[in-house]
Amino acid sequence: MYSVQYTAKKLGIAMGKCRAIDGYRPMFCLSPEQFSQIQHYREEYLNPSAEHKGFSQEG
């Protein structure tokens, strides 16, 4: 499965690293527009492949 970071890189979205609240894990900062663009890309490319194989998307 594609990660958000991988998808952003593929779409040419620069992701800046920001500190997490606990200061330990790096968090990635995205604008809502960028996030929706990534979500749309992932739905476009992940869901059709599942449908072609005859599987339903189950969480």
Copy the structure tokens of residue 33.
């527009």
The mean pLDDT value for 4-17 works out to: 73
Structural domain boundaries in the chain: 4-51
To the question of pTM greater than 0.85 for the whole model, the response is no
Q: State residue 26's pLDDT score.
A: 55
Reported confidence tier of residue 10, pLDDT bands at 50, 70, 90: confident
Reported confidence tier of residue 40, pLDDT bands at 50, 70, 90: confident
Reported confidence tier of residue 57, pLDDT bands at 50, 70, 90: very low
Cα 28 from chain centre: 11
Are 26 and 20 in contact by the 8 Å Cβ rule? The answer is yes
Q: Per-residue pLDDT tens for 15-30?
A: 666 655 555 555 567 7
